[in-house]
Amino acid sequence: MLSEWRREEERTHRSTATDICPMLTIKQVSQLMHVHPNTVRRWTEEGIITAYRITPRGDRRFREDDVSRFLVRFRLNGGDPREAASRVAIRQAVA
C-alpha cells in the first residue's frame, strides 16, 4: 500500500510533509536561470525540470537542490535545458 502511494506521489509530483526542504517560486527560479517565468512553466510541463504543486490552485514550487543540480547542468551544456534535464534524471536514478 505504501509503495502504491509513493508511486502516485511521484507521478503527480505533489509535495508532502515528509518532503520538507527549501522551496523556490517560479519567479525565483526564472531569475536564477535568467529566463522568463513562462519558460520555467513550459519546462515543467515538458518534464525538463520538476515542480511540485502545493495548493488547490496548483501553484508550482521547486526544490532548491533540484534547481541547483539543474543549474549546474544547464550552464555546463551551454544553456540546453533538455540536455541538462537528462543528466539530472540520470543522476537522480543512480542516487
- Is it the case that residue 82 has pLDDT exceeding 60? yes
d(CA 70, CA 86): 10
CA-CA distance, 79 to 2, in Å (whole number)? 38
Q: Amino acid identity, residue 27? A: K
What are the distances in angstroms from CA 94 to CA 48, 82, 89?
Answer: 18, 19, 9
Quote the crossing angle between the two packed helices 81-94 and 64-76, to the nearest 10°: 130
Give the Cα separation of 24 and 65 in Å (integer). Answer: 10
48 — pLDDT class (breaks 50, 70, 90):
confident
Query: Each residue of 54-79: pLDDT tens digit?
Result: 889 999 999 998 898 888 887 777 76
Q: Indicate the domain borders of the chain.
A: 2-94
The correct CATH number of 2-94 out of 3.30.70.260, 1.10.940.10, 3.20.20.330, 1.10.1660.10 is 1.10.1660.10
